[in-house]
């Protein structure tokens, strides 16, 4: 089972992704986003941790491909949107030419997609769907939106299923 779960912010996608692996006794949970130092972010992380089984192991890393390639059991990656932010932040590429950013990001995305395709244990990945709304007014917002759309397409190609979550409801695409 290789599933990409997508949807808007607070749509219920993480909860749905966790439910897909709820029967698994041990899961590697990859927290792939940046680390923010504020109370709201800390509360969000705490809520996610409280929902997960005590037997689930959390790995905070942007090396999603490495974790997937080395996994011997089920893996849940949450989330590719925050992963993308962390990757661009770490490389300091927000103001770089689009082609340079794409080259840096897509090489890593291709490695993730290859690791997903080669996975022998269940893999569930969470991502944001950001291309359904208003065109962002800032360059960084447009860059993020466009890149995440490409990230989602490439990872979806490696998955068996894609689930769209809207208002807590799941549509299997």
Q: What's the whole-number average pLDDT of the chain?
A: 92
pLDDT at res. 43: 75
Query: Which has the higher per-residue pLDDT, 163 or 42?
Result: 163
CATH architecture of 2-172: 3-Layer(aba) Sandwich (3.40)
pLDDT-based confidence at residue 53 (cuts at 50, 70, 90) = confident
| Closest-CA residue to 4 (of 168, 151, 120, 169) | 151
**Position 81 pLDDT exceeds 80:** yes
Q: Where are the domains of the chain?
A: 2-172
Write out the catalytic residue numbers.
48
Helix and strand counts by DSSP (H, E) for the chain: 6, 7
pTM: 0.92
Q: Which two tokens stand for residue 23?
A: 């029967």
């Amino acid at each position: 089972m290789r599933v990409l779960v997508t949807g808007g912010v607070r749509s219920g996608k993480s909860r749905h992704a966790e439910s897909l692996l709820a029967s698994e006794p041990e899961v590697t949970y990859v927290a792939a986003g940046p680390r923010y130092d504020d109370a709201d972010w800390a509360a969000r992380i705490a809520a996610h941790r409280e929902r997960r089984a005590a037997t689930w192991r959390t790995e905070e890393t942007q090396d999603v491909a490495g974790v997937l390639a080395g996994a011997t059991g089920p893996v849940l990656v949450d989330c590719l949107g925050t992963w993308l932010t962390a990757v661009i932040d770490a490389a300091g590429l927000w103001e770089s030419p689009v082609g340079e950013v794409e080259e840096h990001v897509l090489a890593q995305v291709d490695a993730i997609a290859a690791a997903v395709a080669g996975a022998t244990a269940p893999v569930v990945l969470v991502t944001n769907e950001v291309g359904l709304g208003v065109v962002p007014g800032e360059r960084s917002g447009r860059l993020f939106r466009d890149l995440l759309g490409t990230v989602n397409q490439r990872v979806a190609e490696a998955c068996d299923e894609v689930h769209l979550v809207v208002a807590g409801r799941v549509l299997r695409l």
